[in-house]
């Protein structure tokens, strides 16, 4: 018998606004994507504890929205760290920033120094961005091919 994830309960008494409803929808999409995978019971139990904490939470709409986002983030981090399961475009988003910082700025400074015009730092950042996206896209494809990618894209 396979353990199931618990559902996220409705919070009609909070009279949630558009932003909160969007976060709730996003969280439900994550749960749906996780339901489609066969997760070990220990993982399902750990995730159910986080969902229970959300369902039992009392507080304002803003506090609930913040807890939703934090819980989603913790679930995604846990899955990545413990099981190498990642959402769609995870590596691309991560490497885009890394590419700009790690490759882009040094390339830009080198170009600026060589050409005597530090205005080329911006061009280097663009090159770094492209390198980062390429590296990340390759890692995302590998994760998909290995069956480690969720049918879910994080919008945190």
**Confidence category of residue 2, pLDDT binned at 50, 70, 90:** low
d(CA 150, CA 143): 9
Q: How many CB atoms lie within 10 A of CB 56?
A: 8
Contact 113, 126 (CB under 8 A): no
* pLDDT tens-digit readout, 28-76: 999 999 998 888 899 999 999 999 999 999 888 899 999 999 999 999 9
d(CA 97, CA 125): 10
d(CA 79, CA 73): 10
Look at the pTM and tell me if it is higher than 0.85. no
């Amino acid at each position: 018998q396979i353990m199931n994830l618990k559902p996220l309960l409705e919070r009609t008494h909070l009279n949630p606004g558009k932003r909160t409803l969007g976060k709730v929808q996003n969280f439900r999409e994550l749960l749906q994507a996780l339901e489609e995978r066969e997760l070990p019971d220990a993982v399902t139990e750990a995730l159910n504890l986080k969902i229970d904490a959300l369902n039992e939470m009392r507080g304002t709409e803003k506090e609930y929205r913040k807890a939703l986002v934090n819980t989603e983030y913790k679930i995604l981090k846990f899955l990545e760290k413990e099981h190498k399961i990642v959402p769609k475009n995870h590596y691309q988003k991560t490497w885009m920033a890394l590419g700009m910082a790690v490759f882009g700025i040094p390339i830009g400074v080198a170009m600026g120094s060589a050409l005597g015009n530090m205005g080329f730092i911006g061009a280097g950042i663009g090159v770094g961005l492209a390198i980062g996206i390429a590296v990340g896209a390759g890692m995302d494809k590998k994760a998909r091919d290995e069956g480690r990618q969720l049918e879910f894209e994080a919008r945190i």
